Structure 1
Amino acid sequence: MKKFINVTKNVALVLAASLTTTVSAYDMTDGRVKSDVNWENVPVVQKTLFFPGMITFDWINSPAHKGTTKPSFETKTCSNCHQGEEEGLGNLLIKNDRLDKVAGKPGSIAAEFQFANDSEYLYVKGTWETESPFPGRMHDMIILEDGKWTIIGGDKGKNPYTPIYEDRFSLMIDDGSVDQFAQQGCWMSCHRGERDIGQATKRDVSALPVIGKDGLGKNDIRKYLPDTRTERYGLNWDKLKTQKEIDQLKADGKFVDLMQWRSARSAPTGAADDGYVLEYRLNDSGKTVFTWNFDKKKGVPKYMFDKSVTGFYALDEADFTDLSKSIALIEGVNTMPYDASKIKDGQYLQGRINREGGGSASDNNEIASSWTDGKYTVIFKRKLDTGSPEDDKIMKVGGTYDFNIAIHDGMATTRYHFVTLPFTVGIGENSEGSVLSTTVK
C-alpha cells in the first residue's frame, strides 16, 4: 500500500509541476474543433457557476431554507432570489467544506456561453478557464506494479491529495413536463442519501426494489427526481414507487435530459454522453460511448495501445504531460488485445476505453472541444428532434426550455462540481426565455 501511495503522489506532482498555462494548444478531438456556426454573430452569455455544497432538494423545500417563507415560493425560481449572488453563495458553501482547506478549491468559476440554432440543431458553446494547469486527459488509470494491475488516482472529493480525474461539461434540459424543474433546476435531482451527501449503504440500496439487485442492479443512490418516490419531500431515497408507476412517468415525459461531455471518456471521439434522470441517473438506450478497459474479475486490462499505430504499447509518466501525444484508447482505432509480455513494470494504461456508440445513447456524436492555454472550449451540436422521445426532450424552433449547466473542473465529481442557477432558453429570436438562441441558418 505504501508503494501505491507513493506512485500516485509522483504522478500528481509530475502533472502539477510540468504543465503551465503556456503549453501549446491541445486539441481534444484531434483537429475536429469546428462548427457550423459563426460564433462572432452570437451573443455571449456570462454566468458564474458556484459550488453547491450539501444543498439538496429536501433542504430547499424545508423550513430551514428561509426562502420558503416568501410569498409564492412555489412559483419563484432560484434566480428570483439569488441572481447575482452566485459568487457569494459559492464562497459561503466552500468555506466549511474540506476541499477548501486541503485542495484549495474555489467557490465559483466564471464561464461564457453562447446559444445558436438552425432548423435542425441546437448549438451550445461553453468556454471557461480550468482550475488545473492541464486538461483532464485521464480517468481510472491503471498501473502495473510487481506484475499486478492497480487502479490509481480517483477524484478530488475522495482523494484530495493525489487526484487523477477527467473534467466535464453537462447540460440538463426539461420541456416543462417536470414539476418544479423550471424553478429549482438540477437541485431536483440532488438528495440526501446520494454519493457524498449522507451516503446510503450498499447493503440497503441493493435490497431496494426497482434500483436494487433485483432491478437495475445498483448499490448506490445517484441523481433521481422526487416524482419517482412515494414521498416528494424529506429523506426519501428509499421510498420508491413501483416499476409500473415509474414506467408511466417515463412514458409521460416526466424525466430530464442529461448530456455530459467528458474530457477523457468522450472528447477523444468527438462525443458526449446521452442520458436522462428519472429514478436514477441512466444512459439512453443503445451502446454508450465509453466502457471499462479493466477486467475486474481477472485483474488485467482488456486492451493496450497498438504500437504500429501509436508507437507504444503503454504509457510512461512523462507521457501524461506531453500534450502533443494522444493517450486516449479508442476501440478499433489504436488498440490491440492485452499482451502482458509487451508491458513493463511501472507503465500505465487508461482504465476506460473510448468507442463508437450506438442507438439513442450515441446521439451526441458531433461535439467539438479544445483546451488551449488553460481554457476549455466545448461546442454541443444536438438535434432538436432526435427521434427518440422515450429518451430525449424533443425541441423545436420557437419553443422554450428549462436548462441547468454544470462544470466538473479540477479533477472533481459528484457534488464537488460547479452549477448555474436554472434558466430558460428560447430557441429562435421569436421565442421567449431569459436566454435566446440565435438562428444562424
Structure 2
Amino acid sequence: MKKMMTIISTLVLATIATMGTLQAAPDWSKAPAKKMTLLYPGTASLEWTLKGVDHSGAKAMKGGETCAGCHDKEAADVGKKIVSGGKPDLEKTAIKVPGSIPITVQATHDGANLYLRLQWKDTKSTGAPKMDEKNQVKVAMMIDAGKVDYADVGGCWASCHHDLRTMPDVDKNAPNHAKAKALDIRKNGPTKYLKESRTSITNKEHPWGGWDKLKSGAEIDKELKEGEFLDIVQYRSGAAPRDGYVLDARRMKEVEGVAEGKLEGDTWTVSFTRKLASAEIGDHKIEPGKTYHIGFAIHDAYSNERHHHVSLGHSLALDNAKADINAVKQ
C-alpha cells in the first residue's frame, strides 16, 4: 500500500510539473487592437502595381511609399470598384464577392511565442460558386524580416505575380517545365514566388512576371539561409494548418498547433502561434528591437487562389508602440 501511494504521489507531481510547462492562453483583453481593411485586389500583381500607366502610385512605390500609406483609408472603396467591374484591367466583369473585409488584429507574446489573432464578421453566402468546397475559410499571414523587395511597401504583394496560376499571364505549358515538380507546379500553373529567386521579372511586354527565369539552386539556398524569404503560416477551416515559406515557390507542409480558428455566431476568430526563436527552415526569428513587415490574406466563402482579400502591408514588432501591430508581452 505504501509503495502504491508513493507511485501515485510521483505521478501526481510529474503531472503538475508537466502542466506548469504548458503555454497559458493569451489574455486578449490586454493586447492592443489594430483595425484594418482587407480589399479584393482582382489581378493587381506586383508587376501591375509597378507600371505607371496602369497604377498611378507606381512611382511612389518605387520611392518607398507604402500601399497602406496611400490607400489605407480608401481600401474599401478600391475593393468595391474592382468587384463592381469598375476596373476592367483588374476584374473584367462584376463578381459576387464583397469588395472588402474589415478585420481586427491583435498580437502578444510571452517571451517564447508570438500570438496573433484576427477577427471579422462572417461573409454570408454571395451566390458565387464554391471554389474550395473543403474549406469555408483560409487565412494566411506572411512575415518579412526586411530582406524582401517591396515587402516593406506592400506586404505579401511581393509574392504576387502576373504569371501565377489563375492570373492573366499564366503559362499553360508550365506543368511541362523541367523543374515543374520541384516548384510544385500542377496543372493550373506556378505558385507564389519572389523576384529574389529569379534572374529577372518584367512588366514591359506580356507575359509579365518571370516564373521560368529561375536562379541556380545554390543561389536560392544561399538566399534562404540569409533570410530572403517570406515566412508563411496558413489556417484552413476544413484541414490541418500549414507552415512554410515563399521564395522560389510557395513551400508549405501541414503542422499541427500553429493555427486554429472557429466561427461563433457571426464572427470568425483565427489565431496563430509562432515560436519567437524557431530554428525551422523558413521561419524568421522574431526578436526585440526589430521591426518586421507582415501581410494577411483571407479566402472567405469557399474562395480559392487569387480570389481572396488582402491587407496592404503593415509593420510588426515586439513591445514597440510605433509598429502598426504591437505585440505586447504578457
Q: Normalising by the residue count of structure 2, what TM-score does the alignment of the two structures yield?
A: 0.82
CA distance in 1, matches of 2:233, 2:258: 13
Per the alignment, residue 103 of structure 2 pairs with 111
Per the alignment, residue 57 of structure 2 pairs with 67
CA distance in 1, matches of 2:226, 2:142: 18
Which residue of the other structure, out of 33, 36, 41, is the alignment partner of 2:25? 36
CA distance in 2, matches of 1:193, 1:277: 16
Q: Deviation per CA, 1:138-170, whole angstroms, max 9, x where unpaired?
A: xxxxxxxxxxxxxxxxxx9xx943552411111
Q: Deviation per CA, 1:318-376, whole angstroms, max 9, x where unpaired?
A: xxxxxxxxxxxxxxxxxxxxxxxxxxxxxxxxxxxxxxxxxxxx3x5153422111211
Per the alignment, residue 11 of structure 2 pairs with none
Per the alignment, residue 355 of structure 1 pairs with none
Contact 2:109 2:327 in 1 (8 A): yes
CA distance in 2, matches of 1:377, 1:89: 25
Pairing of 1:226-265 with structure 2 (within 5 A)? 226-234=195-203, 235=208, 236-265=210-239
Name the SS of the counterpart of 2:73 in structure 1. Answer: coil
The AA in structure 2 aligned to 1:190 is: C
1:212 and 2:172 equivalent?
no
Pairing of 1:71-86 with structure 2 (within 5 A)? 73-86=62-75
CA distance in 2, matches of 1:367, 1:185: 20
The AA in structure 1 aligned to 2:238 is: A
CA distance in 2, matches of 1:439, 1:187: 29
The AA in structure 2 aligned to 1:372 is: E
Pairing of 1:122-133 with structure 2 (within 5 A)? 122-132=114-124
CA distance in 2, matches of 1:414, 1:387: 29
The structure-2 alpha-carbon separation of the partners of 1:189 and 1:105, relative to structure 1 and needing over 3 Å to count, comes to: same
Contact 1:99 1:160 in 2 (8 A): no
CA distance in 1, matches of 2:221, 2:57: 33
Q: Deviation per CA, 1:385-423, whole angstroms, max 9, x where unpaired?
A: 1122x3211112332111001111011011111111100
Per the alignment, residue 439 of structure 1 pairs with 329
The AA in structure 2 aligned to 1:74 is: G
Offset of residue 199 of structure 1: 5.0
Per the alignment, residue 310 of structure 1 pairs with none
Name the SS of the counterpart of 1:415 in structure 2. Answer: coil
The structure-2 alpha-carbon separation of the partners of 1:275 and 1:99, relative to structure 1 and needing over 3 Å to count, comes to: farther
Count of residue pairs brought into register by the alignment: 293
Pairing of 1:327-338 with structure 2 (within 5 A)? none
Report percent identity of matched pairs.
28
CA distance in 2, matches of 1:52, 1:280: 21
CA distance in 1, matches of 2:130, 2:50: 37
Per the alignment, residue 242 of structure 2 pairs with 273
Which residue of the other structure, out of 375, 383, 386, is the alignment partner of 2:278? 386
Aligned-pair Cα RMSD in Å = 2.3
Contact 1:228 1:241 in 2 (8 A): yes
CA distance in 2, matches of 1:182, 1:75: 8
Q: Normalising by the residue count of structure 1, what TM-score does the alignment of the two structures yield?
A: 0.62
Contact 2:40 2:307 in 1 (8 A): yes
Per the alignment, residue 87 of structure 1 pairs with 76
Per the alignment, residue 184 of structure 1 pairs with 154
Contact 2:260 2:271 in 1 (8 A): yes
Offset of residue 132 of structure 1: 3.1
Contact 1:399 1:426 in 2 (8 A): yes
CA distance in 2, matches of 1:246, 1:237: 14
Offset of residue 69 of structure 1: 3.6
The AA in structure 1 aligned to 2:199 is: T
Structure 2 residues without counterparts, runs of 5 or longer: 1-22, 86-90
Which residue of the other structure, out of 368, 373, 395, is the alignment partner of 2:265? 373
Contact 2:47 2:202 in 1 (8 A): yes
CA distance in 2, matches of 1:394, 1:175: 8
The AA in structure 2 aligned to 1:110 is: P
CA distance in 2, matches of 1:217, 1:378: 27
CA distance in 2, matches of 1:41, 1:240: 46
CA distance in 2, matches of 1:410, 1:217: 26
CA distance in 2, matches of 1:162, 1:406: 18
CA distance in 2, matches of 1:109, 1:94: 13
Contact 2:184 2:190 in 1 (8 A): no
CA distance in 1, matches of 2:199, 2:322: 34
Per the alignment, residue 129 of structure 2 pairs with 161
